[in-house]
Structure 1
Amino acid sequence: MGVRFTVLGPVEVTADGTRLDGLAPRHRAVLAYLLLHARIVLGRDRLIDAVWGPAPPETARSQIHAAVTAIRRVLRRAGAAEVLQTRDAGYVIVPQAGQLDLDEFTGALSAAEDPQRIRAALALWRGEALADVSADYVADARTRLTERRLAAFERLAELELALGRHEHLIDELSAQAAAHPLREKLACHLMRALHLAGRQPDALAVARAFRARLADDQGLDPGHAFTTLEQAILAGDTAPEPAGQGSFLPYDLPDFAGRGNELGHLTHQAGQAAIYTIDGMAGVGKTAFAVHTAHRLAARYPDGRLFVDLRAHTAGQPPLDPAAALDILLRQAGVPADRIPADLAGRCALWRSELAGRRVLVVLDNAAGAEHVRHLLPGAPGSLTLITSRRRLTDLDGARALSMDVFPAADAIALFNGIVGERAERRPLAVLDVLQLCGFLPLAVRIAAARLHHRPQWTVDYLAERLRAERRRLAELSTAERGVAAAFTLSYRQLAADRRRTFRLLGVHPGRDVDPYAAAALAGTDPYEAEEILEDLLDAHMLIQHEPGRYTFHDLLRDHARSLAEPEEASGALTRLAGHHLRTAVVAIGRLFPYSRHLLPAAPPADGPAPEDPVSALAWLDAERANLIACGVQAAADRPRHTTDLAAALYAYLDGHIHHAEALPLYDAAVRAARDPSAQAQALLNQGVMHARLGDHDRAHLHTPRALDLARLAGDRHAEARALCSLGDVAWEAGDIDRAHADYDRSLSLYREVGERRGEAIVLGNLGLVHSRRNRHDLAHQVLDQALALFHDHGIRAGEATVLGNLGLIHERQGDRVRAADHFIRALALFQDLGYRPGETAMLAHLGRLGPRR
């Protein structure tokens, strides 16, 4: 029998049927909480909060540690030490199939339209859940589990009443109704069973007793379903629902929110299609939507509303095979068990024969793929089949597809506020913060709202702070019965091994998205194989796509993927990605700025297709810019050379195309990462330029003298030229024209010596301003025209715009307002094209100062 854990009764660990001692009450409380959240990593703070609530003792952390130690000791005796694992973020218990009674209960209920399976699930209970455990979390957890037990029994009664098995139900229903006297559905089932057994007076006596008790205890009247049944019994017209005409749909959520567009579309189109597939990522609410839609459409299908869970993503359970699914569906359709063939082909034929000429609505929930449901589809028109799956079912010919996305903000707010109530309505901005941290994923929103609802001491802001901690966000989004991480894990386990590995490695990418080449670098494969895997992950809703050829994660799925990667595996992937980025960036910068090739860091040839012309080079840099910066920043600690090389390679692009604010984190990281004097000098100077472009001139020149010393120490003439130019800027801003002129002249000589034409153009532009300040306007025009030509020849449009603006200022000082305006207009057009608002604003101010042209 092996090791087994139980929570549906006393909390116990058994080995080969023998109860293992050694766990004190507090130890069992910790064990039970871990088991209720099986396969979810729980931090110590979460465990402390669960066990003691808002006022834990000072010894709480040591008590948790002692409990975990005791649990490990017991598991070692059972030969199952690996079940309890320690992770960076806390502890996780990972029971195998058949080891946890709660898993078995949940799995059995996944086929909740089969009375035998429901009875088997209920037989797992050995009394009150968590019977011998005392802790802060226990009351809520016990209530939830008891509610599931009662709901399962009510569904069992409903199914057996529909099958005419009312006689043997009466005693069970009487006992449950006595134990839960205010539960209306139990009272209704007992009334129906008694009346079907010919005991009308007894049925009415149950009705009278329930009415009186409800009025005395709660001051309420029974609901519509109760009064309708009561009137029918009084009239003597209640009979078993005709076989095959009942509803086997699960419970429709009373607080179902949103999805108005999808619901409207499907209900409008339902008569025009026989099959609808509803796909989407784990937790997006496919089943809830399908069930809600089915209830809305029920009246259109009077010959039966059938439901089966195919269990493609059910913890601890294999997918339900088509033959078993057909057995459930045929029984729901009213076929006696002795008429159902044993073989799949026979069941398929009978299923299609039974549905011919009938209008039936069938919900096939949780399908693994097209082959999983192909044998279950009705053969004739008139019926509607709704299929939910985490994969896109592209191979079902004739089916219409509805892919569900995360909630729009309004739907998420409606669901969250509907559960939480006034506390949420008073803090709309905090609610939006929580919803964004939940990624607007319906399951995450529902769990977050439920946690807040059951913790009156918490505020919405406090919940947001808890969710903001990335390492424990997924753990926060879980309850005793469900969790976002658990839902993701089930999807992950359905992937092939190479898909799982790629999914994990995509999670360690620090950027926002990937193309097939970056994915190939991460996984160490070729781009064609990588693209095939990416497309498969897209079909499985493990990735999303906002533009062709680029793939990204939902934020919570990214957290989950990152948590799965082993450190060594992640390090290797990031090293390969860094090499790919640097190699391709060097090629792209060389194509876009050929004059600066000699300044680029050494890198091997690009791995795969590289930009072949300036247009494709710019397109690649624009598409990858955020990723390049994020990866460069992340590499500063572990791969410092990559950070400094990438920052140096990208400098001309980031500066010349006005991406200074985005680039600043990369250059801050490069300063931290630089090791040798030359790299330190270049990093300090690049950082200074970014600050200067953003208007922070004090910080821009703070480290220029040190950069000059480092450049000379390293013998780096290019860095020395840049440092001298920066010192000239300092002198210029201080009004020391002579010093500025001298520094610029020395810088110009060095730039010409190393053949750096962009730097030469920049210094010529600065010297033009110096000559103009000294009223040497002819000389100023001469050097500015040289600078303009250099910038133009090398495609540096930001430089062109700056020089044109300076030429306009000189013409204005000389009194030539017409030529000044022409230069300002040309500069304005360039700044507008570049999207550089400061330059655009300056040119508009100059033009406004000149007044209208004549």
Structure 2
Amino acid sequence: MRMESGAGSMGVRFTVLGPVEVTVDGTRLDGLAPRHRAVLAYLLLHARTVLGHDRLSDAMWGPTPPETARSQIHAAVTAIRRVLRRAGAADVLQTRDAGYVIVPEAGQLDLDEFTAALSAAEDPQRIRAALALWRGEALADVTADYAADARTRLTERRLAAFERLAELELALGRHEHLIDELIAQTAAHPLREKLTCHLMRALHLAGRQPDALAVARAFRARLADEQGLDPSRAFTALEREILAGDATRAPVRQVSFLPYDLPDFAGRDSELDHLTRGTREGMIYAIDGMAGVGKTTLAVHTAHRLAGRYPDGRLFVDLRAHTVGQRPLDPVAALEILLRQIGVAADRIPADLAGRSALWRAELAGRRVLLILDNAADAEHVRHLLPGAPGSLTLITSRRRLTDLDGARALSMDVFPAADAIAMFGGIVGERADKEPLAVLDVLQLCGFLPLAVRIAAARLHHRSQWTVEYLAGRLRGERRRLAELSTGERGVAAAFTLSYRQLAPDGQRMFRLLGVHPGRDFDPYAAAALMGTDVYEAEGLLEELFDAHMLLQHEPGRYTFHDLLRDHARALAAPDEVPGALGRLSDHYLRTAITATDRLFPYSRHLRPSAPGADGPLLEDPAAAVAWLDAERANLIASGVHAAADRPCHTTDLATTLYAYLDGHIHHAEALPLYDAAVHAARDPAAQAQALLNRGVMHARLGRHDQAHLHTPRALVLARQAGDRHAEARALCSLGDVAWDSGDVDQARAHYDRALSLYRETGERRGEAIVLGNLGLVHSRQDRHDQAHRVLHQALALFRDLGTRAGEATVLGNLGTAYEREGDHTRAADHFTRALALFRDLGYRPGEAEMLASISRLESRGRSTA
């Protein structure tokens, strides 16, 4: 950081592990009142997470904030900014649409350093360095509503770290210098059993058996007096060992460096079965998956279950590929940690990678160990750490697929199945989850069934007794605040995603951001290329990189999508200045390719659609390819048109016009309605307005909503004539004919249809001509002009068949059935209804199918009554 005044480089630092302070080169900056420090501390506890006013207010004052809460928070943020500007760190506190976020750099926040140091919890030196960061009680000068719970959580982490340090140093025979520290800690926390056990063991190893037993007796008495409990079995076993043992003998060292196994571990039965049943000596498993999916949790739980098979050691090293504020642990340092874990003296460990790797393989020869290499960046990160001989099991976790790690079995983890997510959530929340099962499912779906998100949501609810599950679901429904809600303490889904994002190359980061603004649910390489403004081959390579990094999902070859929470994260990262250009390129791609596809399918109506300039999209060389592309992209095309209505209205109206023949002819009316509603609002000139109103009317009519279908037809006719659009005028007249037919005015219907037929023939619009002929056939039949009815209906049938419009063909077959029924020829009527029914069923058009079934039933009923 640099001072705004131009002073030299300074060290800006934020501290919460003690008094809350901002310092520069060790000098404390004044200017923050107690309330300001409370807001700053909460922002720092949730660093890199956007916090809104409601969340901050809830933290400061709980459920009953003062009326001035918003202004007080604003004043605190203003004061914090003032101090940060003096420190030359103004950009650390940022304002986002959803609230505020503080983004300290590496080395600026003591809590980040503490967390990072503990990631190497098998290294005593790093744990001591982490504990040295504490300068007293956490949040020492903060009295806000949230402070007590936060202070308790941080203190628990501090104590757990010291207990792990004591365990490691006792295993290394460093008991003498631990005794004073353990005496001080047990005096401060007299009912903490693990601390007492460590003190007893240290005294025992130092030859002070009576003192060790005295500590045990004092603990037993205090526990009984204050809590009415007896010590655990582990405590009793240690006590017996001290009673029976020689005061000078060294204990048998149990080499286990596995992290804590979660007591509420839930689900993952198939993965556990795969790992525990399928393991054999010398096997390597590479467990990969997106951030927060539970890779480390699964590996650790598996290791604890299999621990008995590996008596020579259970080893663990965090390679820190995705650790806040830390570089990945290089193989040289990782090998030193592993060699020390199996008891190799420091003076025997070579300095270079090759020497350490060779020693590591030699030491493991003949041993049976279980090794977890956690949080690997890639295959090269772990290659030198693998055992060289059979006998051991290695579990590797990584956010990337380790496709080039020869000999490793891959296990790719997905999000939770619903049952596993329910089990975890209920195990944490308790009976409140049982009372609101539907709300629980809402929460889990809003969490995308991602284990980290589910655990955080459950933890937030568990610590807020006044909240209901439905209230939590309501807080998660807002896309802008969802990721902010899914954070607690120092953990957060957004923070986990950010680490994965930072590991991507610049082009991969840009692709990830731009895919986030895609308005649809999935995308192919051509759409990705349009967003990026690059060619399809480069885009496909970037998509595959994101897929390998578990930043994207792939449910079928060539099509990619996001996990819902990753989509939210990607969208939040997109820079405002890069979004319009990307969406413009995407809109152009979709429109150009849609025009190409519909021209392949409906060449006779090409003149009714916009022209398509040269495109870099798929070739679509035949109608089958065109239909396949339109079917695959239909939801995206509709979403693109709806999304563009405000900023690119011409794209919306052009796309709606382009897709009309496909959406109508292939029976996608309900899906299409949002696009045509958007087109009505987006249309700017009379011709576009007329077309949009008529297209929307057709979609409503196909769905049986005739009042909606014809509501704006008169206005559409006026607009069409005003624009001189003969085709739109013909469509409006045809629609008015439908209105007259529905009201029983057959003569008026015929007049409208005749005028429409003349206009369609004048403009050469054969599909419109076929539609009107089909309608006129019914009019002539109703007026008992049977020869004319058959003539025009067969003309319509021939036109539809020539055009390849099967929906139109089915409709006319039904109309012919109706004509024959009016003439009393029930055999021919039934034959035509049956043929129409088969076509409607093949098309999946349920209203047409229902109408034909009703017609057939009506004929059968008449036949029975006649008999």
TM-score using structure 1 length:
0.98
**Distance in 1 between residues matched to 2:224 and 2:729, nearest whole Å:** 90
- Residue 556 in structure 1 maps to residue 568 in structure 2: no
Give the aligned partner of residue 269 of structure 1: 278
In the TM superposition, residue 132 of structure 1 has moved relative to its aligned partner by 0.1
Q: Does 1:121 pair with 2:130? A: yes
Kindly state the Cα deviation for residue 843 of structure 1 after the two structures are TM-superposed: 1.9
Match of 2:17 in 1: 8
**Is the contact made by 1:274 and 1:399 (CA closer than 8 Å) also made in structure 2?**
yes
Give the counterpart of 1:427 among 428, 433, 436: 436
Change (3 A) 1:815 1:209: farther
Q: Is the 8 A contact 1:273 1:400 kept in 2?
A: no
Matched, 1:494 2:476: no
Q: 3-state SS of the aligned residue for 1:382?
A: coil
User: What residue is the counterpart of 2:393 in the other structure?
Assistant: 384
- The residue number in structure 2 matching 1:593 is 602
Residue 681 of structure 2 aligns with an amino acid whose one-letter code is: R
**2:673 pairs with 1:660:** no
Query: What is residue 782 of structure 1 aligned with on the other side?
Result: 791
> In structure 1, how many angstroms separate the alpha carbons of the residues matched to 2:496 and 2:250?
38
1:754 to 760, 763, 768: 763
**Is the CA contact 1:161–1:240 (under 8 Å) kept in the aligned structure 2?**
no
- Structure 1, residues 94-130: CA drift from partner, whole Å, max 9, x if none? 1111110001101111111100000000000001100
CA distance in 2, matches of 1:221, 1:833: 74
SS at match of 2:578: helix
Cα deviation, residue 351, structure 1: 0.2
* Structure 1 residue identity aligned to 2:603: P
Residue 240 of structure 1 deviates from its aligned partner by 5.0
Instruction: Find the counterpart in structure 1 of residue 462 from structure 2.
Output: 453
SS in 1 for 2:374: strand
Distance across 2 between alignment mates of 1:212 and 1:814: 105
Q: Give the match for residue 357 of structure 1.
A: 366
The question of whether the paired residues in 2 share the 8 Å contact of 1:420 and 1:450 is answered with yes
Deviations 1:154-197 (A, max 9, x none): 11011111111112111211211221122221122122222222
**Compared with structure 1, are the counterparts of its residues 58 and 345 closer, same or farther at alpha carbon in structure 2 (3 Å cutoff)?**
same
Q: Does 1:630 align with 2:639?
A: yes
- Residues in 2 aligned to 1:839 and 1:218: alpha-carbon distance in whole angstroms: 75
Q: Who is 2:321 aligned against?
A: 312
How far, CA to CA, are the matches of 1:334 and 1:589 in structure 2? 72
Give, in angstroms, the shift of residue 368 of structure 1.
Answer: 0.2
Aligned residue type for 1:187: T
Correspondence list, 1:368-379, <5 A: 368-379=377-388
1:766 to 752, 757, 775: 775
CA contact (8 A) 2:652 2:679 kept: yes
The CA deviation string for residues 256-295 of structure 1, in whole angstroms up to 9 with x for no partner, is 1110110011101111651000000000010111100110
Which position in structure 2 is the counterpart of 1:247?
A: 256
Mark the CA change 1:216 to 1:601 in structure 2 (over 3 Å): closer, same or farther: same
Q: Which residue of 2 aligns with 1:531?
A: 540
Q: How much does 1:481 deviate?
A: 0.8
Aligned pair 1:49/2:54, yes or no?
Answer: no
Residue of structure 2 equivalent to 1:712: 721
1:650, CA displacement in angstroms? 0.2
2:74 to 49, 54, 65: 65
Distance (whole Å) between structure 2 residues aligned to residue 375 and residue 714 of structure 1:
75
1:728–1:242 distance in 2 versus 1, CA, 3 Å: same
Q: What code does the residue aligned with 2:260 have? A: Y
**1:609 Cα deviation (Å)?**
3.1
* Residues 41 and 89 in structure 1, CA contact (< 8 A), matched pair in contact too: yes
Runs of 4+ in structure 1 over 6 Å off = none
Counting only pairs closer than 5 Å after superposition, residues 131-146 of structure 1 correspond to structure 2 as 131-146=140-155
Amino acid at match of 2:510: R
Q: For 1:69, what is the secondary structure of its paired residue?
A: helix
Give the structure 2 partner of residue 89 of structure 1.
98
Give the distance between the partners of 2:785 and 2:270, measured in 1 at CA. 70
By how many angstroms is 1:836 displaced?
A: 1.4
Alignment correspondent of 1:149: 158
Are residues 1:541 and 2:550 paired? yes
Superposition deviation, residue 52 in structure 1: 1.1
Match of 2:295 among 272, 286, 289: 286
- In the alignment, the residues of structure 2 paired with residue 565 and residue 499 of structure 1 have an alpha-carbon distance, to the nearest angstrom, of 13
**Distance in 2 of aligned mates of 1:226 and 1:808:** 89
What are the superposed Cα offsets for residues 705-744 of structure 1, whole Å, 9 maximum, x if unpaired?
A: 0100000000000100000001111111111111111001
Q: Give the Cα separation in 2 of the matches to 1:240 and 1:523.
A: 65
Gaps of 5+ in 2: 1-9
Are residues 28 and 447 of structure 1, via their aligned partners in 2, closer, same or farther at CA, if it must alter by over 3 Å? Answer: same
* Matched letter for residue 76 of structure 1: R
1:602-681 correspondence to structure 2 within 5 Å: 602-681=611-690
- How far is 1:61 from its partner? 0.6
Shift of 1:794: 1.1
The offset of 1:85, in angstroms, is 1.0
Letter in 1 for 2:511: T
Q: Secondary structure at the match of 1:182?
A: coil
- Residue 312 (structure 2) pairs with residue 303 (structure 1): yes
* 184-193 vs 104-113, which moves further: 184-193
Residue identity opposite 2:522 in structure 1: D
Distance (whole Å) between structure 1 residues aligned to residue 281 and residue 551 of structure 2: 31
Distance 1:744 1:212 in 2: 100
Contact conserved, 1:43 with 1:89, CA < 8 A, in 2?
yes
Aligned partners of 2:749 and 2:285: how far apart in 1? 74
Q: How many residues align?
A: 853
Q: In the TM superposition, what is the alpha-carbon distance from 1:671 to its structure 2 partner?
A: 0.5
SS of match in other structure, 1:277:
strand
User: Structure 2 residue aligned with 1:572, among 566, 578, 581?
Assistant: 581
Q: Secondary structure at the match of 1:560?
A: helix
Map Cα deviations across residues 235-269 of structure 1 (whole Å, 9 max, x no partner): 327965555x5100000011111101100111011
1:817 aligns with 2:826: yes
Give the match's secondary structure for 1:92. strand
Output the CA distance in 2 between the equivalents of 1:169 and 1:303.
26
What SS does the corresponding residue of 1:14 show, helix, strand or coil? strand
Whether the 8 Å CA contact 1:583–1:607 is kept in 2: the answer is no
Aligned to 2:341: 332
Code of the aligned partner of 1:433: D
Q: Supply the distance in 1 between the matched residues of 2:850 and 2:195 (Cα, whole angstroms).
A: 73
Residues 424-477 of structure 1: CA deviation (Å, up to 9, x unaligned): 111000000000000000000000000001111111001001000000100000
| Equivalent AA in structure 1 for residue 64 of structure 2 | A
More deviation, 718-727/41-50: 41-50
Partner of 1:260: 269
- How far apart, in 2, do the equivalents of 1:796 and 1:190 lie? 86
Change (3 A) 1:769 1:291: same
Contact 2:523 2:561 (8 Å CA) reproduced:
yes
Match of 2:228 among 205, 215, 219: 219
Q: Is the 8 A contact 1:707 1:723 kept in 2?
A: yes
C-alpha contact 1:632 1:666 (8 A) present in aligned 2:
yes
Q: 1:734 and 1:841 mapped to 2: Cα distance? A: 22
Over the matched positions of the two proteins, sequence identity in percent amounts to 84
Matches of 2:757 and 2:627 in 1, distance apart?
A: 29
- For 2:804, the equivalent position in structure 1 comes to 795
Give, as a single letter, the amino acid of the residue that structure 1 aligns with 2:372. V
Asked whether the equivalents of residues 281 and 391 of structure 2 are also in contact (C-alpha less than 8 Å), the reply is no
Letter in structure 2 aligned against 1:121: A
Q: Does 2:33 correspond to 1:17? A: no
1:9–1:126 contact (8 Å) kept in structure 2: yes
Q: Which moved more, 1:219-228 or 1:641-650?
A: 219-228
Give the Cα separation in 2 of the matches to 1:212 and 1:676: 89
* CA deviation vs aligned residue, 1:296-325 (integer Å, no higher than 9, x gap): 111010000000000000010000000000
C-alpha displacement of 1:848: 2.8
Alignment map for 1:23-38 (pairs within 5 Å): 23-38=32-47
CA distance in 2, matches of 1:208, 1:725: 98
TM-score, length-normalised on structure 2? Answer: 0.97
